A and B are shown apart, each in its own frame.
Chain A
Amino acid sequence: MNINLHQQLKILLNSNLNIKPVTTGLNCAATSNPVSYKTSETPSAGPYGQFGSAGQEHQLPHALRINAPVYEWLNMLISSMPQATLVTDALRNVIITNQQFCHLFNLEQKPQQLVGRNTVELISGLGGDMIDVIYISERINELYDTREPADNDEMPLRDGRIIVRGHRPLYFQNQFFGHLWTYSDETELITSRKRLNEQRDFYERILNAIPSEIVVYSPDQRYRYINPAAISDAALRKWLTDKTDADFCVFRGKDMSIAEERRAAFKKMETLQQPTSWEEKLSLPLQKERRLHRTLTPVYTPDGRLEMAIGFSQDITEHQQSKEQALLNEMKYKDLFNYSQELICMHDLNGNIEKANPALCGVMEMPEAALVGKNLKHFLPEQDHHLFTDTYLPTIKTGNRAKGLFRFHTRSGKRIYLLFQNYRIVHPEGAVAPYVISFAQDVTDRIQAERQLKEARMQVEETARIKEKFLANMSHEIQAPMNRIRELTDQLLGSVPSLRQQPALDGIHQSSRHILDILDDILDLEKVNTGEIILERTTFDVASCIRQTVQLFKEETDARNIRFITDSHLPPGYEVTGDAGRLLQILENLVSNAVKFTPEGSITIGVEKEKETPSDITLHFTVKDTGIGIDEDKLIKIFQPFTQAHNARKKQYAGAGLGLALTKKLISLQNGTIWVESRPKKGSTFHFTILYYKNSDPEYLQHEIKTISVNNRLGNLKVLLAEDNEINQLLARSVLQYLGFESKTAGNGQEAIDLLLQEDFDVVLMDIQMPVKGGIEAAREIRNMTDPKKKNIPIIALTASTLKGEEDQYLAAGMNAYIPKPFKEMELYDIIGKVLNAGNSNGEK
């Protein structure tokens, strides 16, 4: 601590010289109202003789005289001063100085040698050592002129030292005596202070730049420091220093509860000796309420006393709003999850359940805790585990999405079906491990309904098949006697019956013909269903077919005054290759219906090209009538078997309801389609298309020649097919039909033997593994038959096995050849040709 000259003089005079105020007449003015001091006794003579001896008055340069003892006393005082000291008169001559002064300024002279020298001269000598000599000189002049006391005038020297100068005017007996100058080397102190100030400025700049509010409180909770973030107004910041929060609230008109809350927080911090935080709500005019998170941190001195408290505040308004919004959103998502009727769960990439919503828990009949942590596989039937492991997990891992159906077991053991659509969720930052979110629907009821429906449909289809089969069998059985009835009726009619008998015989004849037509339809329908219909391929004139059809009904339509119109857009004599007989059958069916349901008006048969390629042509036929039409609700059913659009009980509309069903199937066989347009009381138009080959096409001709040559070479063979498997039966019959062969089917070896005994066949196709009697056993029995023709019939083994060595067994059993299933037409054709040729060769031999 730098004690100023005024204080030093006061101490020194009081302690050593017993100075009493206003007794010596020497005044040392620290202010403009100087205090005077007087010595109680007369001091001894000083070392400076030129000022006179003891008891004498010293002759001072500016004519003020002091006696020798006072001078001595003053000289002693100055000499003993720890600081460099100089006393000059008003004319700037040195009166007294000390050794410290000489040392400080590196003067070679002794203090006594400087007495009487003018300081202007002295400064001139020292000027080279001073950095700003002009300023220093001006300041000295100012002090000489004003005689104002001064402290802490800094004089930087070139050698790096900073000399601090003090100045006091001296009065003796109320008269100006001279100037007292003190000098001290304060380099270290000033540098340290400067460094401290720089540091303080540095930290203050940081604190001022921080956007968060920072304040420092004194232990009595007064503001020591406030940064601009806390209070932007610099004047208010300054005013608030040393004030309390209560002062602030009063000054700014704020609610005093803020100050009370802060006071309570401060107390809490003091009590707990720990940082204390609280949230403060600030209402500002015309602004939204702000929310601040404030923290008070105590700072203690080394001896444990509270030195200050640092207050730190953060505006958490937005953060808090975001947090509240996030909480709200989370709540909504939770609600969505909890109240969704969709079954939702989350699982990791291995199927371990992480979360399940109440809907899923409800369906599974177990709480979430019973599901979470378990693997989904755990709830699947064991036979479905491989689907989960081998299909579902790899799909979801690689494809990001998987959908499908799983069966689950509920807690009570009930089996449910969940239709799921699952997504793999991968967060880009990887903060959360990838997981799967699963959305599912319980489709158990739907599946069961579908299953029941399917079973019912299968049952209906099976029943229908049985019915059709029965009908076909019955028709087949009835066909022969009915033909016989018709033949006998024809004979009776030919033998000139009596007039009474003639109408009855006509009736029998017509009825038997009608029954035979129905039987033909039933048998045709069955043949289509079983793939037994053989389509012919001959070249024919389309217009001729239409003419033939018209001719069939001409008599009847003429009688009823119904006009026939032919609307052909084909060139005259246009020929195609296909089954002319089936076209006639189709046209006959449709025209027959038109005639039946048209009381008056006309029937138009039209044909045009619809699509043509180099090898084939699609023809579009129409049969249009002006009849009674068909109700819309009946339209979709009319192509079903045994269905009629009109009341069959009315005699004129009677029929079996098979015509359109058969027509549709015949058209389908020829790669065509049929549809109808109709309006009640306006009439109906039946459209159908058929794909025909163009006989001009060379490829076709080649194919046709080949087909014909096949037929020519092998003829119309009759094949016995022994096969228990229904699919293989259907496929084989289809192939045989394509090749133009007639076939009969046996379901096992025994049936094949029975059929062969009843009828003649050209070749046997024998499956190996069949119930009741296998193919090998049956072949052996055939080879043991007595009838040479049957005994030597060629037998071809149909085998599913392609194992080496097995063919030897078939040949050893007497079979002629074998063909692995499934086979193609030409493969079968070739092998049949081979065995037949071999047989013929053997016969010739």
Chain B
Amino acid sequence: MSGEPLYDLNYISQISKGNTALIERLCSTFITSATKILSELKTALAKGDLTQVGAEAHKIKSMIAAMNMHRATELMQEILESLRFNTDVESVPEKAEQGIFLVEAAIEKLKTDLSI
């Protein structure tokens, strides 16, 4: 694994202008929402429903981008491109698995960091 952090809060801190209550709420909401989307993504993967995989990737992409999860965001973008242009579709499940792993790890770290 690279040395890139699992997430960083620079973007949301900058947008929140140091409003810690808002930052905490954003993080807490991220954990709840992302966990739900990951669960739906896993279900879609298990069913082999790539259309739904694309929909879930689309849903989570902007959220993880806001948390500066660069690699996971790239993976979601690649999934969307593969499905949109029907290229390299066979790599979608693997990329989705990798993305799930990275986001789950980030969620766990975020929970630890925020003592949630």
Q: How far is the CA of A734 from the CA of B26 in the complex (A)?
A: 11
Question: Is A531 among interface residues, defined by CB-CB distance under 8 A?
Answer: yes
Whether A821 lies near B80 (C-beta < 8 A) is no
Question: Is B47 among interface residues, defined by CB-CB distance under 8 A?
Answer: no
Q: Which of A40-48, A347-355, A368-376, A800-808 contacts B (4 or more CB under 8 A)?
A: A800-808
Whether A803 lies near B116 (C-beta < 8 A) is no
Q: Name the A residues within 8 Å of B77 (CB-CB).
A: 802
Q: Name the A residues within 8 Å of B21 (CB-CB).
A: 528-529, 665, 668
Point out which of A454, A529, A531, A769 has the most chain B C-beta atoms below 10 A from its C-beta: A531
Question: Is B20 among interface residues, defined by CB-CB distance under 8 A?
Answer: yes
Question: Is A241 among interface residues, defined by CB-CB distance under 8 A?
Answer: no
Contact indicator per residue, chain B 10-50, by CB within 8 Å of chain A (1) or not (0): 01101111111110011011101100000000000000000
Q: How far is the CA of A23 from the CA of B20 in the complex (A)?
A: 144
* Contacting residues of chain B (56-86) with chain A, CB-CB under 8 angstroms: 58-59, 61-63, 65-66, 77, 80-81, 84
Q: How far is the CA of A802 from the CA of B79 in the complex (A)?
A: 12
* Contacting residues of chain A (719-764) with chain B, CB-CB under 8 angstroms: 725-728, 730-731, 734-735, 738
Whether B62 lies near A725 (C-beta < 8 A) is yes
In the complex formed, the residue of B with least CB distance to A729 is B29
Q: How far is the CA of A769 from the CA of B80 in the complex (A)?
A: 14
Whether A727 lies near B59 (C-beta < 8 A) is no
Question: Is A292 among interface residues, defined by CB-CB distance under 8 A?
Answer: no
Q: Name the B residues within 8 Å of A306 (CB-CB).
A: none
Whether B33 lies near A726 (C-beta < 8 A) is yes
Question: Is A669 among interface residues, defined by CB-CB distance under 8 A?
Answer: yes
B contact residues, total (Cβ < 8 Å): 34
Contact indicator per residue, chain A 796-833, by CB within 8 Å of chain B (1) or not (0): 00001111000000000000000001101100000000
* A756 vs chain B, min Cβ distance (A): 23
Whether A728 lies near B80 (C-beta < 8 A) is no
Question: Is A671 among interface residues, defined by CB-CB distance under 8 A?
Answer: yes
* B20 vs chain A, min Cβ distance (A): 6
Whether A668 lies near B20 (C-beta < 8 A) is yes
Question: Is A713 among interface residues, defined by CB-CB distance under 8 A?
Answer: no
Question: Is A288 among interface residues, defined by CB-CB distance under 8 A?
Answer: no
Question: Is A650 among interface residues, defined by CB-CB distance under 8 A?
Answer: no
* A826 vs chain B, min Cβ distance (A): 11
Interface of B is mostly: helix
Q: How far is the CA of A213 from the CA of B61 in the complex (A)?
A: 85
Whether A769 lies near B55 (C-beta < 8 A) is yes
Whether A728 lies near B16 (C-beta < 8 A) is no
Question: Is A305 among interface residues, defined by CB-CB distance under 8 A?
Answer: no
Q: How far is the CA of A802 from the CA of B80 in the complex (A)?
A: 9
* B91 vs chain A, min Cβ distance (A): 17
Point out which of A728, A731, A738, A821 has the most chain B C-beta atoms below 10 A from its C-beta: A731
Whether B19 lies near A668 (C-beta < 8 A) is yes
Whether B58 lies near A769 (C-beta < 8 A) is yes
Knowing A727-B30, A730-B25, say if A800 contacts B18 (CB, 8 Å).
Answer: no
In the complex formed, the residue of B with least CB distance to A404 is B108
* Contacting residues of chain A (649-675) with chain B, CB-CB under 8 angstroms: 665, 668-669, 671
Q: How far is the CA of A730 from the CA of B22 in the complex (A)?
A: 8
Whether B80 lies near A801 (C-beta < 8 A) is yes
* A613 vs chain B, min Cβ distance (A): 15
Q: How far is the CA of A738 from the CA of B19 in the complex (A)?
A: 12
In the complex formed, the residue of A with least CB distance to B81 is A803
Whether B33 lies near A454 (C-beta < 8 A) is no
Q: Out of A728, A734, A735, A824, which one reaches B63, CB within 8 Å?
A: A728
Q: Which 5 A-B pairs have the closest CB atoms?
A: A821-B62, A800-B62, A822-B66, A800-B61, A531-B22
Chain B residues near A (Cβ < 8 Å)? 1, 11-12, 14-22, 25-26, 28-30, 32-33, 55, 58-59, 61-63, 65-66, 77, 80-81, 84, 97, 101, 116
Task: Give 16 CB contacts A-B under 8 Å.
Answer: A528-B19, A665-B21, A668-B20, A668-B21, A671-B18, A725-B62, A727-B33, A731-B12, A731-B66, A734-B15, A734-B22, A769-B55, A800-B62, A821-B65, A822-B62, A822-B66
